[in-house]
Chain A
Amino acid sequence: MIFHHLILRVVTKLLVGTIILFALYVQFHGDFSPGGGFQAGVIMAVAFILYGIVFSLESVKKVFPEWLVHKILALGVLIYAGTGIATMLLGYDFLDYDAFAPLHPTHGQHWGLLAIEFGVGVTVTGVMVAIYYAFAGRPPSLTDEDW
């Protein structure tokens, strides 16, 4: 049945790679331009959601398996908390980024922000994709004729 959606298929295949790159660009340029972890996570999830809508849920689950989604959800929070704990172990306050480069506080803050944003991005990707899976996995309650 998807065979006649030729244009959608071609356009999706063309765009997906660029979308993922754009997500990572927004992710890692949080301190130069508007953006950051939240937007990056949503864009990254949009790439998977677009693929799942145009192809099928089955194939997107092969690319990004469901167990990995749940692991990634927790991984993001762990990265966030881990950064904070790392600063504490280095003898500073929780999430005091100066700890990473005591001689160059600006560099330290750069590193710390990158790590924090990465954690946020990973979690948001996981949450968005998990919501999509939950919605799409729901069996349709109406048939075409009833509508």
Chain B
Amino acid sequence: MLRSIFTAIFLFALWYLMSGIDKTLTLVLGAGSSVFAVWIVRRMDDASNFKRLSVHLRPIEFVKYIFWVLAEIAKSNWTVIKIVLSPNMDIKQKMYKVPFSQKSDLGQAIFANTITLTPGTITVEVEGDHFLVHGLSYSLDDHAALADMDRRVSKTEGIVDL
């Protein structure tokens, strides 16, 4: 119930920031729309076999993590750009396994999406307790770098379940 209220408030803030119109009619329609959206989402959570997504993140850690990811994206972009522009493209492809330590589905999805977002590595499959990752220019350092990323994602996971 608490979560529904928070979702509705979040959606209403989104509405207000998108429209930027303070007329009463628009605001009332926005409130109605957010309540409607929350209602549909609740129905959807109840309908499938997969119950609601448990969200536990530490906001401050998560913001720090986003900035770290941006720096990481810049570095790996540079690596891939060098490969694309070099005349004989020095590709060393490899599939390898990356273990993950996150407990929640959301944490695992964040880790997998971060791997894919940094150019040079792509999550191909989630199986059991590890991801199958495809690397473009594979070196032994990649394992250490991805383990570091894994630790950082695990740090953003909190205990409070909203």
Residues of chain A touching chain B, judged by Cβ–Cβ distance below 8 Å, are 4, 6-7, 9-11, 13-14, 16-18, 20-22, 24-25, 28-29, 32, 47, 51, 55-56, 59-60, 62-63
A111 to B41 Cα, complex, angstroms: 29
**A21–B33 contact, CB under 8 A?**
yes
Across chains A and B, the number of contacting residue pairs, with CB separation under 8 Å, is: 85
**A16–B50 contact, CB under 8 A?**
no
Chain A's closest residue to B109 (CB) is A10
Residues of chain B touching chain A, judged by Cβ–Cβ distance below 8 Å, are 7, 11, 14-15, 18-19, 21, 26, 29-30, 33-34, 36-38, 40-41, 43-50, 52-53, 105-106, 108-109, 112-113, 123, 125-127
**A20–B50 contact, CB under 8 A?**
no
Majority secondary structure, B binding face: helix
**B109–A62 contact, CB under 8 A?**
no
Majority secondary structure, A binding face: helix
**B48–A24 contact, CB under 8 A?**
no
**A63–B36 contact, CB under 8 A?**
no
